Amino acid sequence: MKRRTILALMTTAIISALSINSYAAEESNIEFSAQKVTEGVYAYIGPITDRTPENLGLNNNIGFIDTSEGWVLVDSGSGDLGTKKLEDMAKSIKNQPIAAVINLGSQDHRWLGNSYFAKQGAKIYAYQGTVKTQKSMFNQVVERMAKAIPSTKGVQMKTADSVFENAENALTIGGVEMQLNYYGDAHFPGDSVLWLPKQKVLFTGDIVYLDRMLGVHPWSNPVTWHLAYQKMRTLPAGYIVPGHGRVSDWKQADAETGDYLKKLVEKMTVQAEDFAGVDSAVSENVDWPEFKHLKHYDSWHKQNLNRTYLKLESSM
């Protein structure tokens, strides 16, 4: 082998070793612990990175509600390993059983932990539209999750024991009043939210993304998502626990999700009505400075424009 080739190989090896190290350093900062939102309500705030074997697919937020029957979890995590972490987090705050799990959505890390908790006697609750999507997309979400986190392979499907038919449902578990509300299809069809009227805490599931850019998938509906946000906005929430990002208030939720959805739908509607073509619709809107601070803006914003435009154009 020539000296130059050896040198080049050595340089590549050093560079890749360095990048592995910085990646590991970033990931090793993951803290699997829950923070207090208000009296009796806690949340695990996942990293706003992608799913990785280190974060066990818990790159989203999960709620913990302390009730006289035990813990009520808002969503159940990504599969047995991640779900076990959630159980540990809850029990380190207060050693009591997981009495119930309420699913707000159908994306992997919202419900693939259901079977783990059900085996321990937890009762699973969800809105009917959520359950419908969970059943139809199960294979797809498991496959996607297993690609990023091989340990989640083989997870069993478990949907709700108690399925709510109405758009607004009042329930009380262990003395804590809650409302499980559906405002419209959003990130996934059947996405719902959990409102605690006494504590003024709103768990928005994937209707709200903070600190990072939201993602429009082929199965997302940005039009009804925008409307769902506006309807949900009437709740007098003091604490917003978003699907992703830090616990905050309406001001930040408006600025980083509500205003974005509004602009996305309005701008792409005009483009679609003019049959401007997807390339021009995207290139004219690629630069939205008010949202550039959001993580993943560069990778998701163009994709969001593209998918929203095509959806609107096909409905014209």
User: From its phi and psi, is residue 75 left (phi > 0), alpha (psi between -120 and 50) or beta?
Assistant: left
33 in helix, strand or coil?
Answer: coil
The 8-class DSSP code of residue 212 comes to B
Q: Give the list of residues 6+ apart from residue 96 with CB closer than 8 angstroms, or none.
A: 66, 70, 71
Q: Of 70 and 79, which has the nearer Cβ to Zn ion?
A: 79
Report the alpha-carbon distance of residue 203 to residue 172 in Å, rounded.
16
Q: Of 55 and 60, which has the nearer Cβ to Zn ion?
A: 60
Q: Could you tell me how far CA 28 lies from the centroid of its own chain?
A: 21
Q: How far is the CB of 214 from Zn ion (least distance, A)?
A: 9
Q: How far is the CB of 135 from Zn ion (least distance, A)?
A: 19
Q: How far is the CB of 107 from Zn ion (least distance, A)?
A: 5
Binding site for Zn ion (CB under 5 A): 60, 107, 206, 243
Sheet of strand 162-164: strand arrangement:
34-38, 41-45, 61-67, 70-74, 98-102, 123-127, 162-164
Contact 222, 265 (CB under 8 A): yes
Q: How far is the CB of 71 from Zn ion (least distance, A)?
A: 21
Q: How far is the CB of 193 from Zn ion (least distance, A)?
A: 13
Contact 242, 204 (CB under 8 A): yes
What is the helix (H) or strand (E) element at residue 257, kind and residue range?
A: none
**Amino acid letter, residue 273:** E
Q: Of 107 and 271, which has the nearer Cβ to Zn ion?
A: 107
Token code pair at residue 4: 């130059």
β 168-173/176-181 pair status = antiparallel
Q: Give the list of residues 6+ apart from residue 84 with CB closer than 8 angstroms, or none.
A: 116
| Residue closest to Zn ion, measured at CB | 206
- Tokens 């990646």 found at: 23
**What count of other Cβ atoms lies within 10 Å of the Cβ of residue 217?**
12
Q: Of 119 and 147, which has the nearer Cβ to Zn ion?
A: 147
Q: Of 87 and 206, which has the nearer Cβ to Zn ion?
A: 206
β 123-127/162-164 pair status = parallel
Q: Of 70 and 243, which has the nearer Cβ to Zn ion?
A: 243
Report the alpha-carbon distance of residue 66 to residue 88 in Å, rounded.
14
Q: How far is the CB of 187 from Zn ion (least distance, A)?
A: 6
Q: How far is the CB of 83 from Zn ion (least distance, A)?
A: 16
Q: Of 75 and 87, which has the nearer Cβ to Zn ion?
A: 75
Q: Of 60 and 76, which has the nearer Cβ to Zn ion?
A: 60
Q: How far is the CB of 248 from Zn ion (least distance, A)?
A: 16
